[in-house]
Amino acid sequence: MYCNHPPEKPGDKKEVLQKITNMARANSLWVTGYGTGCGAIELRPLGTSRFDMERFGIAMRPTPRQADVLIISGYLSTKTLKRVIRVYEQIQDPKYIMALGSCTINGGMYFDSYNTLNVLDKYLPVDVYVMGCMPRPESIIDGFSLLMKKIKEGRATGWKHYKENLDYYRENQKQIIKNWDLPDYNW
Amino acid sequence: MIDKVKKELEIRFPLLKLVREQHNYLHVKVGATSAMDAVLTAKTSLGFTTLQLISAVDWMENNAFQVTWILENYSEQEVLLISAYFPRKNCVVPSLSQIWPAASAFEREIYEMFGISFPGNPREGEDFLLEGWKDIPPMRRDFETEEYAMRTFGERQPREHIDPRQYIGDVVGEWNTPMGRNREEEK
């Protein structure tokens, strides 16, 4: 059921084509509906009429297969990290990670907890950090506009980095997930 | 109504201590050997048919674990807490999962967090929150959380500190002396 070969390196398109596709990608960011920590609370108001993220073309999706963006909302426990890796690797190829809150940057107030990881960037490639504890919906929208800008300029290449440095990320992931039973290539 | 419950319990068991009592709330401590009897009598003859929670506290100084069963009588709106001390080394507490199926989850969690064994629970030892945990149980007081976090998740990077003196120089020196005192000296 799983893929048993390492990921293929993404080919480069022509520059003109790339600009057009990046434009299209930036204006239809679909988000996986997966909340890992307390920040998921701030994602709910984004969908309501007050903040209304659909005006930017951002929508929530029930499955990772239809999504582009994975939001790591706040602290991440080692048990959840395993599920997050599964979700992230199931997302189709241009995929971006947005990390909310100070917990994802350096552990935040849970830096000495036995079960929450400190630096998210060691385990998954982060494209945009949104600071705050927790960030208000306005700052999440700000983070989205930064992500759109990065995509349009072609700088949001975390997914390429993940593919090229898969060994590094796997090593870090296996260090803290004690009962590793995922296949090595699962997309 | 809680007076009746208290009298019944006092007749049947030697209550070690009555901790707290209100019109609908009673907390009693019983001996470790009669704890199960007390819980079962409360269920069968006193009408406390709902198990709300099983909790544990580590009293390292007294070399004991305190296990508390919180029971509720829904029709009378009464809450009964029965707690008992168990020796800390190789702690074994009888399981209630055959009587209340909900007790199974609480007992699995306590087994994982404190290492208290509940023989008779068919799902004991299954992974609950900490998957593949190899250290001593993390809620024990002799577990050093911060040291463990530093060891597994890496040290938290300190914030880059910028000294304003480097940039503004002498002005800071003037600020440090309270202006009021200088003026007084001049006079």
- Averaged pLDDT of chain A: 88
Residues within 8 A of B (CB atoms), A 2-61 only: none
DSSP code for B69: E
The set of residues, in sequence order, having a beta carbon less than 8 Å from that of B161 and lying 6+ positions away, is none
Report if residue A187 sits inside a domain.
no
Q: Is residue A181 part of a domain?
A: no
- What is the domain range of residue A87? 15-176
pLDDT at B171 over 70: no
Contact between A114 and B127 using a beta-carbon 8 Å cutoff: no
Averaged pLDDT, B74-82: 90
User: If we measure between CA atoms, which residue out of B29, B14, B137, B10 comes closest to residue B85?
Assistant: B29
Work out the average pLDDT over B33-53. Answer: 89
Split at pLDDT 50, 70, 90, the class of B104 is very high
**Residue A1 has what pLDDT?**
65
**Sequence-distant (≥ 6) Cβ neighbours of residue A59 within 8 angstroms:** A30, A31, A53
Query: B-chain residues within 8 Å CB-CB of A106?
Result: 156-157
Residue B51: pLDDT above 90? Answer: yes
B142 interfaces chain A, CB cutoff of 8 Å: no
Residue B169, pLDDT score: 64
Interface residue A115 vs chain B (CB under 8 A)? yes
How many angstroms separate the CA atoms of B22 and A113, rounded?
37
Statement: residue A104 has pLDDT above 80: yes
Chain A closest CA to B150's CA: distance in Å?
7
The answer to whether A182 and A86 have CB atoms below 8 angstroms apart is yes
Question: Per-residue pLDDT for B129 more than 60?
Answer: yes
User: CB-based contact (8 Å) between A86 and chain B?
Assistant: no
- The whole-angstrom separation of Cα B40 and Cα B38 is 5
Residue A23 forms part of a structural domain: yes
Identity of the residue in B127, B149, B152 whose CB atom sits nearest the CB atom of A111: B149
Kindly tell me if the per-residue pLDDT of B180 is higher than 70. no
What local confidence, expressed as pLDDT, does residue B185 receive?
52
CA distance A175 to chain B (A): 8
Coil, strand or helix at B92: strand
A119 contacts B154? CB cut-off 8 A: yes
Total tally of structural domains belonging to chain A = 1
For the stretch A5-15, pLDDT in tens is: 788 777 777 88
Q: Which CATH class is domain B2-154?
A: alpha beta
Please write the tens of the pLDDT for every residue from B83-95: 999 999 889 999 9
**Would you kindly state where each structural domain of chain B is located, as residue ranges?**
2-154
pLDDT by residue (tens digit) across A78-95? 999 999 998 999 898 889
B148 → chain A, closest CA residue: A114
Nearest to B129 among A79, A107, A117 (CB): A79
Percentage of chain B exceeding pLDDT 70 = 85
Judge: B156–A118 Cβ closer than 8 Å, yes or no: yes
Neighbours of B99 (CB within 10 A): 14
CATH number at residue A72: 3.40.50.12280
Q: Reply yes or no on whether the pLDDT at B25 is more than 70.
A: yes
Whether the pLDDT of residue A108 is over 60: the answer is yes
What pairs with residue A31 in β-bridges?
A60, A69
Confidence of residue B157 (pLDDT cuts 50, 70, 90): low
Question: What is the predicted pLDDT for the residue at B158?
Answer: 64
Which of B140, B153, B156 is best to mutate for the A interface (most A CBs within 10 A)?
Answer: B153
Segment A50-55 mean pLDDT: 90
Give the pTM: 0.81
A56, part of any domain: yes
Q: Please answer whether residues A17 and A25 qualify as being in contact, where contact means their C-beta atoms are separated by less than 8 angstroms.
A: no
List pLDDT tens digits, range A141-168: 999 999 999 999 988 888 989 988 888 9
Q: Residues of A with CB below 8 A from B144's CB? A: none
* Chains A–B, number of C-beta pairs less than 8 Å apart: 49
The neighbour count for residue B88, using CB atoms within 10 Å, is 18
Q: What average pLDDT does the structure give for chain B?
A: 83
User: Looking at residues B110-116, what average pLDDT do you find?
Assistant: 92
